[in-house]
Amino acid sequence: MGALSSGEKVLCAVYGVLGLIGLVGTQVVLFGGYMTRDDGPYLDQLTANGVATFMLIDLAVVAVIGLVFMVVEARRLGMRFLWVYVLLTFAVAISVALPLFLIARQVHQAKERQAQPA
């Protein structure tokens, strides 16, 4: 990560912290809260009331937008391992996959700049 400017390092740190918050937050709720009690079938809970349905639709739309952005941007920049971020979106959470993608994107762009002749 030596090719990153100090501003880019700060940005990557912010992405990393937000991704860590997303990871801890989603996994604590999923495994710590949900798995320890019986609130009924999981899919029923996603649409249990108007607020839950709103959150489900909002998050689903954001996830699709994030996936489209990651695919288009990774192909435009020639980034490798796009499948990892897509898999993380479905296996863990978009709140983890997108920040990791944004860090990889910053690093990729910095390396590309450094590789260009002066």
Give tens-digit pLDDT for 17-38.
Answer: 999 999 999 988 878 666 666 6
Report CA Rg, the chain.
17
Chain segment 49-79, per-residue pLDDT in tens: 889 899 999 999 999 999 999 999 999 999 9
| N- to C-terminal Cα separation, the chain | 19
Domains of the chain, by residue range, sit at 6-113
CA 36 to chain centre: 26
pTM over 0.85: yes
DSSP secondary structure letter of residue 81:
-
Return d(Cα 52, Cα 44) in angstroms, integer. 10
